Every structure is written in C-alpha cells, then in structure tokens.
C-alpha cells in the first residue's frame, strides 16, 4: 500500500469504464472510496470489486446532472469519512449527431452531465479541501476538449471545451 492508503476518494461515473477501473486502482492502494453513478446494480458490483482489491467502498446513487444529487453525494462522503482527499469527476457520455440534428434537449443533457456535473462536484468539495488544507480534483475529459476530431460532434465538443475552461480556471484558483 502506498501514499493513497486511507485517502478518501469520490469517483463519479464509477459504474463502468474508466471510473470503475479507477475505483479498482485506488482500492489496490488502500483508499476509502465513495462511488457514484446512476445504476445501483453496477455500483454494487463496483464496490464488491473495490473491496476485493483491498479498499473500503461505499456508494451513492447519483445523477451528476442534478445538483441536489451531487450535494447529497458530497454530504454522505463527509458524514461517512470526515473528509474528501480526491475527487474524480469522471461521469460523462458522448452524443454525436451533426449540430443540425442535435436537439436542444440533447444539448442541455450533454452540458448538464459533461460540464455541470463537474462544476457541481468541484464547487461542493472546494470548501472542504480548503478547510482541510489539501485535496485534489481530477477531471476526466477528452481530446475533444482541445480540438474537434470529427464532423458530427459539435455538441459533445462544446461540452468538453466548457469542461476544459473550467479545468484551466480551477488550476489557476
């Protein structure tokens, strides 16, 4: 076990993909995890995998597009563990029709998940981390936040560019 032993780590989008793999990796280092996603059945499995890898793991069903869900996640984590050392904003998804065929509803949902979810969680943990005198925020994005890589992805790119702007501002703050 290394430098992450007993660190409290919150991971959004932890039910699959990068988030689930990150949970296992942090668990192998002895971290205490709060896993968040919308699918409870997959969160239960992710917690079992994390515990089997050597970490402590709890979960909170969370839709990062809903600010009240994110606040509940952060509140549950601090109530359970007393602190938050690392926040991994990983929740996100892709949607790739042409801009002309992207509905306003789809655009709002992309921004709500890919950008506002990151904003809500970051804003909620910053005061906690400032009070502790330490903490790290890791925002999982995409090359799409730096450059357009396909013709039918304007809405997705916009959400990731917004996230990149938030990343740059957070780094300076």
- What is the set of active-site residues? 156
Tokens of 93: 């998804």
116 secondary structure, DSSP code: I
Q: How far apart are CA 12 and CA 61, in angstroms?
A: 10
Name the nearest CA neighbour of 157 among 138, 141, 168, 171: 141
32: β partners:
8, 56
Contacts of residues 96-103 at CB distance under 8 Å and 24 or more positions apart, as own/partner, are: 96/150, 96/152, 96/153, 96/156, 97/152, 97/155, 98/151, 98/152, 98/154, 99/154, 99/155, 102/154, 102/155
């Amino acid at each position: 076990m290394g430098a992450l032993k007993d660190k409290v780590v919150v991971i959004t989008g932890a039910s699959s993909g990068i988030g689930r793999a990150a949970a296992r990796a942090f668990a192998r280092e002895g971290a205490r995890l709060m896993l968040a996603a919308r699918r409870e059945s997959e969160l239960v499995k992710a917690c079992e995998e994390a515990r089997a890898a050597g970490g402590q793991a709890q979960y909170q069903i969370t839709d990062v597009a809903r600010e009240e869900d994110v606040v509940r996640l952060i509140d549950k984590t601090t109530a359970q563990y007393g602190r938050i050392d690392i926040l991994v904003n990983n929740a996100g998804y892709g949607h790739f029709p042409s801009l002309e065929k992207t509905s306003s509803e789809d655009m709002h949902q992309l921004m709500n998940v890919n950008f506002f979810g990151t904003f809500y969680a970051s804003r909620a943990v910053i005061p906690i981390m400032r009070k502790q005198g330490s903490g790290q925020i890791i925002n999982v994005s995409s090359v799409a936040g730096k450059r357009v890589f396909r013709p039918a992805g304007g809405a997705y790119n916009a959400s990731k560019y917004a996230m990149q702007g938030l990343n740059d501002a957070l780094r300076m703050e």
